[in-house]
Amino acid sequence: MSDGYVWFEGIPFPVVDCTPEHLRAMQDFVFKDEDVLTVSFPKSGTNWLVEILCLIYSKGDPTWVQSVPIWERSPWVENTHGYQILKDKEGPRLITSHVPIHLFPKSIFKSKTKVIYLIRNPRDILVSGYFFWIISKFVKRPESLEQYFEWFTQGYETLGNWAQYVNAWMLEGQENVLIVSYEELKQDTRSVVQKICRFLGKKLEPEELNSLLKHSSFQVMKENKMSNYTLLRGWLIEDKNGSLMRKGISGDWKNHLTVAQAEVFDRIFCEKMAGLPPELFPWE
């Protein structure tokens, strides 16, 4: 580790359980047709989607999400611990990743692995990231929101430039890829979960779906120590009250960015994202 990141091929990775040697070895990871991959830029709502997937696979029964840490239920392929779990796991695997597509194991392109790609308003990603990085040891810690705004808008960000990352992963139109936004999940969780179930070929009975919605809600996840990362308090999360579950809303950026910052943001990112279908991209 140097300067608060693990560097690999010019991309800064979080320092948690991740080394350049592992990232190189990870290139040979073999995806299987029955795997389900959640992929996203950090702070897009990844753990929420993972919780939903776990509850789809347990048919709404919360036993699994209440007894096993989320990073063992759907391990991160870029982490050494996660990789070990995945390597030896039989049957359909839930897998999570923040790795940019150009550094991703190439076997993904030959498999029929179902990929769920989660996007979120980058202004909320920025704010969520700032408040998490300042209480944790995952990545280089910004000294102020102003400083982090500079890093983010200039593309010096954990996992690299947000716009490049998102544009490159946008595999829309491929039959094994589903693009989901945090905003649509927030707005109508039930419908999006049903869409995910159809994509995965899964069916939930009404009471199973109700149980899923309850146990993946912000309030319940916030209290679930297997999902809220409080098991890492005192080690990777320094704040004694720190949690991954901060606010869980869309549009919190309006409470933190100045008008001038919002304008700079729009100027930079609207241009960079101009090629994306507007209906897919949550700009509000």
Binding site for ligand PPS (CB under 6 A): 40, 42-48, 124, 128, 131, 216-218, 221, 244-248, 252
201 CA to centre of own chain: 22
Please confirm, yes or no, whether 98 is among the known catalytic residues.
yes
To which residue do tokens 């039930």 refer? 190
Alpha carbons 49 and 47: distance in angstroms, whole number: 5
Q: Which residue, among 172, 167, 137, has the nearest Cα to 155 in the 3D structure? A: 167
Residue 38 Cβ vs ligand PPS, minimum distance, rounded to whole Å: 9
Cα(261)–Cα(172) distance, integer angstroms: 30
Amino acid at 199: F
Which 3-state string (H, E, C) describes 248-267?
A: CCCCHHHHCCCHHHHHHHHH
CA distance 34 to 114: 7
- Min dist CB 84 to ligand PPS, Å, is 20
CB of 244 to ligand PPS, least distance (A): 6
Give the nearest distance from C-beta 237 to ligand PPS in angstroms.
11
Strand partners, 7: 12
Q: In the complex with ligand PPS, which residue's Cβ is closer, 109 or 283?
A: 283
Neighbours of 57 (CB within 10 A): 16
Q: How far is CA 174 from CA 48, 109, 147, 251, in A?
A: 24, 11, 38, 30
**To the nearest whole angstrom, how small is the minimum distance from the Cβ of residue 129 to ligand PPS?**
8
Q: Which is nearer to ligand PPS, 111 or 189 (by Cβ)?
A: 189
Indicate the residue among 106 and 191 with the shorter CB distance to ligand PPS. Answer: 191
The Cα 221–Cα 175 span in angstroms is 31
Of 77, 53, 51, give the one whose Cα is nearest residue 65.
Answer: 51
Dmax (CA) for the chain in angstroms is: 52
**Which is closer to ligand PPS, CB of 24 or CB of 247?**
247
Between 46 and 113, CB nearer to ligand PPS: 46
d(CA 38, CA 183): 17
Which of 22, 81, 98, 215 is flagged as catalytic?
98
- Least distance (Å) between residue 175 CB and ligand PPS: 25
When the beta carbons of 108 and 244 are compared against ligand PPS, the nearer one is: 244
Provide the annotated active-site residues: 98
